[in-house]
Amino acid sequence: MTLEIAMVFGILGLALASFIWEKVPVEVTAISVFALLPVLGLLQVEGALSVLSNPAPVTVGAMFIVSAGLEKCGAIEMISGYFDRLAKAGYIPLLLIIILFVAFLSAFVNNTPVVVIFMPVLLSLARKMDIPASKLLIPLSYASIFGGTCTLIGTSTNIIISGIAETYEQPPLAMFELGMAGLPLMVLGTIYLLVFSKRRLPVRETLTQILSPEERKEFITEAFIHQHSPLVGKGVLDSGILRAPGVRVLEIVRQGRTLVEKLNEIVLEAGDRLVLACKPHGIVEARSLEGVNFLGEIGEGLEQIAASEGSIVEGFIGPSSSIAGKTVAEIDFRQRFRMIILAMHRRGRNVRDKLATLPLEFGDTLLMMGTDQAIGELRKSEDIILLDQPHVTSRSRRRKIPIVVAVILGIVGTTTFTSFPIVASAIMGVAVLLVTRCIKSEEAFSAVGWNIIFLIYGMLALGLAMQETGASTLLADKAVAMVSHLVSPEWQPYVMLAVMYLMCSFMTEILSNNATAALLAPVSISIAATVGVDPRPFLIVTAIASSASFSTPIGYQTNTFVYGVGGYRFSDFLRFGLPLNLTYFSGSIVLIPMIWPFH
C-alpha cells in the first residue's frame, strides 16, 4: 500500500464518519473532500475539475426541476385525490393499488414529492378505515423505491451510475434497461407487502393520538390591556401572564402591528392586544388575571374580542426547510409562525420536554396548535409540510399539466429511441417548463437538492482519486484474492457479484444511495476487470443495491419521511425490511447474470 492509497482511505474513513456522525451537513463534508484531494496531491487540479463535467449531477438537478413542475401543476395531487374513494375497498386491495400507482409514478419522477403528497391521503384513509396509519406508510415508501429501480430516471442513483459508466468508456444505461431486473423484483416485493404488511407491520400512534382528550382541547382567545391596568409599563415576564397555568401567549399586537420582539423583552402598553392559547381550565385562569380585559369597553375603540377553539395540525420538517438545524428558540417559532409546538416525534420517540432547546432536524414531525389563519399561512410555507391535507393547486396551474407530461414523455422518448444524451433532453425539458411558466424560476432553483448535487460531486472526486491512486484496484484485488481461496474460478463472478451487492446494501443503509453509488461504482468496475468479466452486471447490481434500502429509516429519504409521521421505531424497519432486503438480494443475484451475462 502506497502513501497516496493510505491517504485516500483516510479521507474516505473521515468522510464516512462525518456522514454517520451527522454533526456536519453532508454537503460541507463533500465540499471539504473535494478541496482536500488536489491540496494533498491525490488528484491533479485538472482531474478534480474534470468531475464537474460529469453529466450525472446536471441531469439529477434537471430531473429535480421536472419533478417539481409535475408537483406544482397538481398532477400528482390530482391522481392522489381519487384514492379517497377507496376507503371501502378493503386493506389488501387498497394496498395493491397504492403500490402500483406509487411505483409507476416513482419510475418517472422524483419519489420525494410523490410520497409527500400521498402521505396526507393515506392518513385520511387510515382514519376512515379505522386502521393504524403505520400499516400504510412503510409500504408507501417501499413502493416508491420499487419504482425507482425500474428506469434510468427513477432515482438519481441510476443517473449517477450511468454517468460513471460513460466516464469509464462503458455504454450508458438505457431508459428501461434496469426494468428487466427491476420489474420482476418489484413483483416479489409487492407480494411480500401484500402477504405480510397486515400481520407484521406494527401498530404505532401518530402524534395526535398520544394526546388525551383534555390535551387536544385548546382555545385561542384575545384580550387587551386597558388604559388603567396595573400591567402598563411592566415587562411580560413581570406581569405574571406567562406564569398562569394553562395559558400561553401566542403574540402581542400593538396598534394593529404584531410585535416581532421576543416576549421577554416586551414592555406592555395600554391598548396592547394579547393572543392567548388556553386549555379549558386555563380560560378561568386567564380571566382572573388582573389588568386584562376579555370584553371590549365602550369608548376604547376596540371591536369585540372573540374566543375560538384552536386547531391542531401535524407537519414535518421538509428536506429544503430553512429552519432545519436551528432550535425553536433561535427561530422564535411562536412569533414566526404564530403556532405553538405541543409535541415532536423524532427517530421513533415522542419528545415533549425541552422543545425550545432542541435543534430541529429533517424528518422531525411536529404537533402544532394555532388559529385557522396561522395554519393557512403555514400551509404556504416550504419549511413545514402539513399532513392534514395536500396542498391545493390553482386551476391556472392545472391547465399546464399536459405540457409537463409532454416534457417527461419527450425526455423518456428521446433517451429511449435516439442517441440523444439524457442530460441534453433533461435541460431542454427544463427550458420548456420555464418558458411556458409551468414552474417559476425561483421554484425551479429551490426544487434542486443542492446538498445532493454537492454530495455527488464530492463523492465522484473521491471515487476518481481512489481509481487514480490505485485504491479501487487494491480493494478489488484483495476481495477477489479472498474469494479465490474459497470457490472455484467459474463461481468467482457470482460470489463477487453477491459481495458487491452486500457492500452496496450495507453502505446505503448507513449513508445514502447517492454517496454509495458514486463511491462503489468505480470499485465494481475494478472488480469486474480483476475477475476478467463484463462490468455490466456489476454496474446493474450496484444500481439496484444502492436504492433497495428497506432495513433502516435513514438509508433512503422517503423512509425518513414516514419514520416520524407514522410513529415508527428504528427496529420496525429492521424487522419488517430485512426480509425484503434479502428478497431483493436473492432475486438480483439470480436474475442479473441471466439478463447480463458475465462473458
**pLDDT for 302-347, tens place per residue?**
343 344 445 678 888 876 678 888 888 788 787 788 787 877 877 6
pLDDT at 325: 80
Domain that holds residue 101: 3-206+405-595
**Rounded to whole angstroms, how far apart are CA atoms 313 and 206?**
11
Residue 90 CB: number of other CB atoms within 10 A? 10
The C-alpha cell that represents 356 in the structure block: 425550545
139 and 256 housed in the same domain: no
The pTM is what? Answer: 0.80
- In a domain, residue 537? The reply is yes
**Rounded to whole angstroms, how far apart are CA atoms 483 and 491?**
10
444 and 546 housed in the same domain: yes
Which of 325, 356, 386 is the endpoint of a domain? Answer: 386
Residues in contact with 353: Cβ distance below 8 Å, sequence separation at least 6, in sequence order: none
- Cα dihedral sign, 205-554-141-341: positive
- In a domain, residue 213? The reply is no
**Rounded to whole angstroms, how far apart are CA atoms 453 and 481?**
36
226 and 186 housed in the same domain: no
- In a domain, residue 397? The reply is no
**Rounded to whole angstroms, how far apart are CA atoms 276 and 274?**
6
80 and 183 housed in the same domain: yes
pLDDT at 300: 41
Query: 3-class DSSP state for residue 341?
Result: strand
- In a domain, residue 400? The reply is no
Write down the residue that cell numbers 416576549 correspond to.
263
474 and 545 housed in the same domain: yes
End-to-end Cα distance, the chain: 31
Q: H or E segment at 261? A: none
181 and 34 housed in the same domain: yes
Residues in contact with 251: Cβ distance below 8 Å, sequence separation at least 6, in sequence order: 258, 259, 275, 334, 335, 338
Please provide the size of the chain in residues: 599
The C-alpha cell that represents 495 in the structure block: 460470489
**Rounded to whole angstroms, how far apart are CA atoms 186 and 143?**
8
**Rounded to whole angstroms, how far apart are CA atoms 350 and 365?**
9
316 and 303 housed in the same domain: no
Which of 309, 339, 364 is the endpoint of a domain? Answer: 309
The C-alpha cell that represents 412 in the structure block: 423518456
**Rounded to whole angstroms, how far apart are CA atoms 61 and 151?**
17
Closest CA to 428 of 447, 417, 412: 412
What are the strands of the beta sheet with 349-351, ordered from one edge?
Answer: 349-351, 339-346, 365-370, 311-317, 384-386
Closest CA to 543 of 15, 142, 165: 165
Q: At 370, which CATH number?
A: 3.30.70.1450
575 and 462 housed in the same domain: yes
238 and 148 housed in the same domain: no
Beta strands in 262-403 (DSSP E): 273-278, 292-293, 307-309, 311-317, 339-346, 349-351, 365-370, 384-386
- In a domain, residue 398? The reply is no
The C-alpha cell that represents 499 in the structure block: 459481495
Backbone angles phi, psi at 247, to 5 degrees: -125, 135
The C-alpha cell that represents 269 in the structure block: 402598553
420 and 381 housed in the same domain: no
**Rounded to whole angstroms, how far apart are CA atoms 58 and 581?**
30
- In a domain, residue 392? The reply is no
Write down the residue that cell numbers 435543534 correspond to.
359
- In a domain, residue 399? The reply is no
Closest CA to 185 of 122, 108, 107, 110: 107
Backbone angles phi, psi at 230, to 5 degrees: -70, -10
Integer Rg of the chain from CA: 27
Any idea of the CA torsion for 163, 167, 170, 176, to the nearest 10 degrees? 10
Helical segments of 73-110, H only:
75-81, 91-106
Q: Which pLDDT tens digits describe the chain residue by residue (599 residues)?
A: 789 999 999 999 998 888 878 778 888 999 999 999 999 999 998 888 888 888 899 999 999 899 888 888 877 777 776 776 777 788 999 999 999 999 999 999 888 888 888 888 888 888 888 888 899 999 999 999 999 999 999 999 999 999 999 988 899 999 999 999 999 999 999 999 999 999 999 887 666 555 554 555 556 667 788 777 888 888 877 777 766 666 777 778 888 777 767 777 788 888 888 877 766 555 555 556 666 666 443 334 334 334 444 567 888 887 667 888 888 878 878 778 878 787 787 766 667 666 777 788 877 888 787 777 788 888 877 788 888 766 555 556 778 889 999 999 999 999 999 888 999 999 999 999 999 988 889 888 888 888 889 989 999 999 899 988 988 888 888 888 888 888 888 899 999 999 999 999 998 887 788 889 999 999 999 999 999 999 999 999 999 999 998 998 877 888 888 887 887 888 899 999 999 999 999 999 999 999 999 98
Q: H or E segment at 439? A: none
Kindly list the distances between the CA atom of residue 124 and the CA atoms of 83, 127, 389, in Å, as whole numbers in the listed order.
Answer: 10, 5, 8
The C-alpha cell that represents 137 in the structure block: 406508510
User: In percent, how much of the chain has pLDDT > 70?
Assistant: 87
- Cα dihedral sign, 429-431-432-438: positive
223 and 289 housed in the same domain: yes
Please, are residues 369 and 312 in contact by the beta-carbon 8 Å criterion?
Answer: yes
41 and 90 housed in the same domain: yes
- In a domain, residue 212? The reply is no
Residue 246 CB: number of other CB atoms within 10 A? 16
Number of domains in the chain: 3
Which of 386, 420, 445 is the endpoint of a domain? Answer: 386
User: What angle, 0 to 180 degrees and rounded to 10, lies between the N-to-C axes of helices 401-417 and 55-72?
Assistant: 150
Closest CA to 167 of 463, 469, 449: 463
Residue 488 CB: number of other CB atoms within 10 A? 8
Write down the residue that cell numbers 444511495 correspond to.
513
Q: What are the tens digits of pLDDT across the range 531-574?
A: 999 999 999 999 999 999 899 887 788 888 888 788 788 889 99
